[in-house]
């Protein structure tokens, strides 16, 4: 499932969330989640997998410590899947730097950042919990308001955004 300007994703569900909306597209066992800053009409899930994903996303927004447990196929290169597995192990309320993830998997910070940018399951694979050594880093491949969403998600999870200490220290 690819999204581009000519053929936007057709969402099977759209949830209204504090920063905008979350779009969910399902094709078999492949799921794509998009964090959307612009207004979208809510769309209830009409099929089982979209409903399952929507319920777990709603649970996350009610309580950031709710875990995701979805039977999803993770589409990506072997390297991307290694990065996503490491990112998925970061507990709610904590962050790691791109460099720390890179060290764990024997790679470089930029490669980790690129794999995070290719993540088609934000929230489920919490790439917002990966920051640069000097601050937030990037999010959503530089999309408008991406960093605002990242800040909102980190604050939702109780991560301190104080300027006086590094972001990853509580």
| Domains along the chain with CATH numbers | 1-73 (no CATH), 78-156 (1.10.10.10)
Could you read off the pLDDT of 105-128 as tens digits, one per residue? 999 999 999 999 999 999 999 999
pLDDT per residue over 30-57, tens digit each? 899 999 988 889 999 989 999 999 999 9
Catalytic residue numbers, as ranges: 127
Closest to 10 measured CA to CA, from 39, 40, 55 = 40
- In our burial notation (b when 16+ CB lie closer than 10 A, e otherwise), range 85-107 reads ebbeebebeebbbbbbbbebeeb
pTM of the model: 0.87
């Amino acid at each position: 499932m690819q999204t581009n300007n000519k053929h936007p994703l057709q969402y099977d569900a759209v949830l209204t969330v504090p920063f905008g909306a979350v779009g969910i597209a399902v094709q078999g066992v492949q799921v794509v989640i998009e964090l959307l800053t612009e207004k979208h009409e809510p769309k209830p899930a009409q099929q089982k997998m979209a409903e399952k994903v929507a319920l777990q996303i709603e649970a996350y927004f009610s309580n950031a410590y709710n875990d995701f447990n979805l039977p999803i196929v993770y589409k990506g290169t072997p390297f991307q899947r290694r990065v996503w597995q490491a990112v998925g192990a970061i507990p709610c309320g904590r962050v790691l730097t791109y460099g720390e993830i890179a060290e764990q998997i024997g790679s470089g910070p930029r490669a980790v950042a690129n794999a995070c940018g290719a993540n088609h399951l934000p929230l489920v694979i919490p790439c917002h919990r990966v920051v640069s050594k000097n601050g937030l880093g990037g999010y959503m491949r530089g999309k408008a308001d991406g960093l605002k969403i990242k800040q909102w998600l980190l604050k939702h999870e109780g991560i301190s955004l104080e300027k006086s200490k590094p972001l990853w220290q509580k």
